[in-house]
Amino acid sequence: MNKEEYKVGQILYLIQSNKFSIAPVQVVEHITKTTLRGVETVYNVAVPGGEETIELSEFNGSVFKTITEVRSHMLENAHRSIDDLINKCVVKSEEYFSTPETELYVPSAEEETLQVDLGNGQVGRINISQDPLSAEESEEPTPAPRRRGRPPKKVGKK
């Protein structure tokens, strides 16, 4: 039973549980019944465009006193729904796909060189058998290979 108190003439806002709609209603009757079961309060409300009244306690949904309460309630439900959708998506992505953080390539100890595609058909080789920070300083660096043949032609205006 609804324990809220309303005044005759007050406008209320209803959100139906099975529909996504907001309906304004006006309290037109406030009836207090005293029975063997106790005191019972009944509110009858008028709906827009209707001749009949409905008993508020029989309404299947939520009742709000202000449009601000309606807005807060709807935003809270929207946030909750969005969070649920996002959480389901994250769980599915973790279940079906690997992420770059978990699938990083780590060369094995047996591999001594690693080939790297530098683009434009060039491939570089990196020696990974030795940690460059622990290499002895006495080692001579390998000179870059010299280019043989003619120098490249200059393209442009003469």
Asked if residues 6 and 27 have their Cβ atoms less than 8 Å apart, the reply is yes
pLDDT level of residue 1 (50, 70, 90 thresholds): very low
Average pLDDT in the chain = 77
Joined together, the tokens standing for residue 21 give: 């709609």
For residues 126-141, average pLDDT: 54
Query: Which residues in 50-80 are b (16+ Cβ under 10 Å) and which e?
Result: eeebeebeebeebbbeeeeebeeeeeeeeee
For residues 1-24, average pLDDT: 87
74-104 pLDDT per residue, tens = 999 888 888 888 888 888 887 888 665 534 4
Q: Which amino acid is at 103?
A: E
Joined together, the tokens standing for residue 53 give: 């009244």
Q: Is the pLDDT of residue 111 over 90?
A: no
Asked if residues 124 and 145 have their Cβ atoms less than 8 Å apart, the reply is no
Which pLDDT score, from 0 to 100, does residue 49 have? Answer: 87
Considering the entire predicted model, what is its pTM?
0.55
CA distances from 25 to 51, 54, 67 (A): 12, 10, 12
For residues 14-23, average pLDDT: 87
